[in-house]
Amino acid sequence: MSPSRTTSMLSAFGLVAVLAVAGVGSSVAAAPSPGPSHGAGTPGKAWESDSYRPTKGRWKDYVLAPTDRSVDAAGVHEVIERGGEVTGKPANLLRRDGKSVRISGDGDRTTSPMVIVDFGKEVSGPVRVRVAGASKDRPGLRVCYSESIEYLARWTGQNNGQTEHAPGCDTANIWNGFPGNAYTEDTDSHALPIADAKLPADVEDPELRGGYRYATLFLDSPGWVDVDAVSMSFTAAQGQGDDLADYAGHFLSSDDELNRIWYAGAYTVQLNTDRPDTAKSWPYEKGEGDHADDVVPGADPDKDVIFDAGKRDRIVWQGDLAVQDPVSYVSTYDLDAVENSLDSLAGQQLEDGYMPAASLVGEHNRNELRHYGEYVLWFVSNMAEHYRWTGDTAYLKKWWPAMERAVAWVEKQRDESGLVGFAAAGSCGHYGYSDCGHETYLNALYVKNLTQMAELAPVAAAADDAATYEKRASEVRTTVDEALWDEEVGAYRLSTESPGAYPQDGNAMAVLAGVASEEKASRAMRYLRTSSWNDRGALTISPSTPNASLPAFHAPLPSWFEVDARLTAPGATAMDQESGFTLMKRFWGWMLDQDTGSTFWEHVQANGRPNLGQFSSLAHGWAAGPTVSMTTQVLGVEPTGAGFSSFEVRPQPGSLSWAEGTVPTPHGAIETSWERSKDAFSTEVSVPGGTTAEVALPTDGRKATVTVDGKRVDAEIDDDGYAVVRGLGAGDHVVRASLRDSAATEASLVMSPTSAVVEPGAMQAFDAVVTAKAARTFKGTLEVSAPEGWKVSATERPVSLDSDGAPIEKSYRFFVLVPDGVSSGEFEIGAKLTYRGEDGEESVQDSSVVKLRKTVVLSDFEDGTDGWSAGQNVSAVNQVSSFANAPGRPYAGSGALEAVVPARPGNQPRSVRYVPEAPLDLSEASSFVAHLDAYGGLPGATGYQATVRLVPEAGEPLEKVLSVNPDSWNTLDVDLAGWAGRSAVKEIEIVFQGIGSTTAWGHRFQIDDISWIS
């Protein structure tokens, strides 16, 4: 929920004592920055009401950062008295005025009242409580922290038993209460030091938790405490001064939602920025509380670093910096924190050139020393991007040898296939999954690295190496295109080992790295839109993909890649680019409607839940990518020369009517704004001394008269339909394109999903996505067709879109009911959009395919083990409703079967078996399907596999071996067509094992939803 929606959302839950969000402290001195943009507005004002509308110049209304290090609580979310009592008005906790709230109890923490205070947004720093008085025998007063209400432990048994030990907390300790693990002792609440305090007094939490939105006060022993006020000391981003709202860069547009997304992203990264001695070290010892006081190796102790998140992990990661660094460049311009983070990681490079992915703070990270090959690539990219934004040649030369060694290490992983694969190195880890194949994503990212190295080699006094890097880039680019592009599907494969999976990261990176041609980029973007999008945004892969190492979930990092790919794809028109705006608003806008309402999440499951339940991070910096896209693509400002020695202003306006912003640079701030009308597009830009600007204005193919500072010029019209003016020097300039003819009427239509597997008698939803523009209002008719006898919710709909020359996208949802008794096969659902174009009536069409199937469930484990038993190397099987490995819950329903495996060599098979009382007749089945999940912590493993074995009464067994991804449900699909033994199956065995490691490994795995399909 966003801060502005707190009251209405909580009322819907029936909660009590909800107060309106209040403002935060007073303004003090601003942090130093190159050309801070002291804009008008009141920090946070835009978040107070859904009816707020953006006003030019008032960008500070959207800033979430406080103007003062002391932040008051915004409201009291809820008071839960349990076995105690709370007297006094909850509003007394919001003001330091001598009016207090008494919290009293006769027992311990299990019966103490809980007073849940809401700071209205995510914050970071210790809670401070004004204690007016206490009973003679002072009780223990403790505070619990949570980023969300959903995972704030309130009711008996919540968070695997956390309420009984740490009421009001979510979970920040990886070994205690992690989803599926019992919470057995308090490792999350903090004691407030009131025992020896001379009351009344301010008492402050001596331990740093990191990020949270809610703080819960409770008593740990009998007695009472009078609380006058609750506030907190905002300790994040200490290097940015005290007025954290005074950003060096800003963005503002006519679209309120996009503005909120920009500032929530900037604020997320600000919250992640903190002193290097506030890191977290895992694993904790038994009974050790969560604490943030470890040190990032190699970091300057007097400068901040940028952690991956405020709550956890609170270490520096290469992949996260790929987003956090550019967010910092365009918002706070905290170069000290950026460089301290980069330095700390670069200093950990191993002798062979491998670059560890994260700060080697604790044993957990040291055990993953060589796990993340992907992040070696991000190290090179991060260093190259830092030079592009800052132009700091000395810094580049300092780390150039490390960049060369890193690229040399990656090149050694390129085998006879011509592609990079990390299986031999055992470095298969990714941002949210593990894959050891020769992937599109990694190899496209390597092409980007090689291109960057070729461009930078002359700057780093290594000009002779540039040709080598260019040659390698060309070789890998060609091989990716030849080996991994699927011409029939129109998308890039996950890897040569997984040719039937087409992921978001690989297809988006192929576009961004220049691997994809214009035609392939267009097709790849269409494939992702029609196969992987849902109401919350884009998934990592189509959910119908069987057995991919990459599970289907919402990952902010590659979703940002997709946004940028949609906005920058070669040949992309304004109509094509509109889908990038849609994705930003659909996914990041959706996150802002959830807790914390002010920051972005680490990952989101396909069902919309945080990826790790109560352990999830809801303020994760790698999720802030759209903040960069809106500055570089929508506002349109990017460096074309290192450190903005030259730059371009090339807006991609989408359906916006205006935008403005400031971009900090080594030469001073670039201030720019643009505005569109029906017959003109104009840009104002302030060019700092020491740099030159190129301004490109979108004409959308219309005839244009261009003026610069009121004087007509002959502007080049480039291939993308932009009027380009070059060589603008220092000073303030106005560039205007007067459009002499009307905007053309155009439309496109995309059906999503492009195919769907449906049961007879079931209903399936489809979206007809219309993108259109016209000089004024676009009008048309959308018609939907289905096979005879099928029911459609609406076969015809009028389409009316207010365009005024701008592209507008809108989805029209309809439902198709498949009749019972329809035979199997494939059936077409068609859509046609008819409208009046330039030459009379025109139309566009698209279609989706419905594939019918019948499913018969053999075992769902809702009522027990359903006759399954332990097989090879398995000591027991049990029906479970939750478990330790992600996602922590059954594939379907409320039960799954769990196999308990004692310590055995990891590559040995471990299995479960089912022997039916009578042989199963699967003669009608086209396939057998099971689902498997497992913990993936086998040291040295290069992968994991499952084997499905079906044994007939007569004839040869049918076996299929499939690669599986740990910590997610894998679909095991076995084709039965043509197998002679399917009419009498007497035994089913499902086997799981690691690959490439003989290390003794005790663990558990689960199966669920065993069925056959015709």
Q: Rounded to the nearest 5 degrees, what angle is found at the Cα of 495, between the Cα atoms of 489 and 498?
A: 75
Report whether pLDDT(35) > 90.
no
pLDDT at 454: 98
Q: 285-294, 306-315, 602-611: which range is least confident on average? A: 285-294
Which long-range contacts does 649-652 make (Cβ < 8 Å, 24+ apart)?
A: 649/674, 649/683, 649/685, 649/693, 649/694, 649/695, 649/696, 650/694, 650/695, 650/696, 650/722, 651/683, 651/697, 651/698, 652/567, 652/574, 652/577, 652/698
Give the rounded distance of the alpha carbon of 5 from its chain centre.
Answer: 22
Quote the percentage of the chain above a pLDDT of 90: 84
Q: Are strands 305-306 and 273-274 parallel, antiparallel or unpaired?
A: antiparallel
Report whether pLDDT(373) > 50.
yes
Rounded CA-CA distance 1010/895 in Å is: 12
Report whether pLDDT(5) > 70.
no
Strand partners, 232: 71, 127
pLDDT in tens, 655-687: 999 999 999 999 999 999 999 999 999 999 999
Q: Rounded to the nearest 5 degrees, what angle is found at the Cα of 802, between the Cα atoms of 571 and 830?
A: 65
pLDDT at 963: 84
Rounded CA-CA distance 130/232 in Å is: 11
Strand partners, 72: 231
Q: 15-29, 276-290, 368-382: which range is least confident on average? A: 15-29
pLDDT in tens, 757-794: 898 899 999 999 999 999 999 999 999 999 999 999 99
Give the mean pLDDT of 623-629: 98
Report whether pLDDT(859) > 60.
yes
Rounded CA-CA distance 775/770 in Å is: 17
Residue 270's closest CA among 125, 385, 392? 125
pLDDT at 176: 86
Greater confidence, 7 or 720? 720
Q: 2-16, 295-309, 587-601, 879-893: which range is least confident on average? A: 2-16
Q: 29-43, 356-370, 886-900: which range is least confident on average? A: 29-43
Give the mean pLDDT of 951-964: 92
Q: What band does 839 get if pLDDT is binned at 50, 70 and 90?
A: confident
Dump the DSSP string for 952-975.
Answer: ESSS--EEEEEEE-TTS-EEEEEE
What 3-state class would DSSP assign to 625?
A: helix
Q: Length of the chain, please?
A: 1014
Strand partners, 746: 773
User: What is the H or E stretch that residue 232 is in?
Assistant: strand 223-233
CA dist 827 to 724, 755, 971, Å? Answer: 49, 10, 24
Cβ atoms of residues 580 and 563 within 8 Å: yes
Cβ atoms of residues 131 and 203 within 8 Å: yes
Quote the percentage of the chain above a pLDDT of 70: 96
pLDDT in tens, 552-576: 999 999 999 999 999 999 999 999 9
Residue that has been written with the tokens 């990656």 in this structure: 410
pLDDT at 889: 84
Report whether pLDDT(10) > 50.
no
pLDDT at 29: 28
- The alpha-helical segments, DSSP class H, found in 119-252 are 158-161
Report whether pLDDT(28) > 50.
no
Rounded CA-CA distance 79/57 in Å is: 41
pLDDT at 827: 95
Greater confidence, 43 or 360? 360
Q: What band does 882 get if pLDDT is binned at 50, 70 and 90?
A: confident
Q: What band does 964 get if pLDDT is binned at 50, 70 and 90?
A: confident
**Crossing angle for the helix pair 256-272 and 318-330, nearest 10 degrees?**
120
pLDDT at 39: 60
pLDDT in tens, 504-534: 999 999 999 999 999 999 999 999 999 999 9
pLDDT at 135: 97
pLDDT at 27: 26
Give the mean pLDDT of 542-556: 86
Average pLDDT, the chain: 92
pLDDT at 2: 43
Q: What band does 547 get if pLDDT is binned at 50, 70 and 90?
A: low
Q: Which residues neighbour 982 within 8 Å (Cβ) at sequence distance 6 or greater?
A: 922, 923, 925, 950, 952, 958, 976
Q: How many CA atoms lie within 13 A of 379 on its CB side?
A: 32
Give the mean pLDDT of 371-395: 98
Report whether pLDDT(307) > 80.
yes
Give the mean pLDDT of 146-152: 97
CA dist 350 to 356, 402, 409, 484, Å? Answer: 8, 10, 10, 31
Residue 100's closest CA among 201, 207, 239? 201
Rounded CA-CA distance 248/718 in Å is: 32
Cβ atoms of residues 315 and 361 within 8 Å: yes
pLDDT in tens, 44-68: 999 999 999 999 999 999 999 999 9
Q: What band does 316 get if pLDDT is binned at 50, 70 and 90?
A: very high
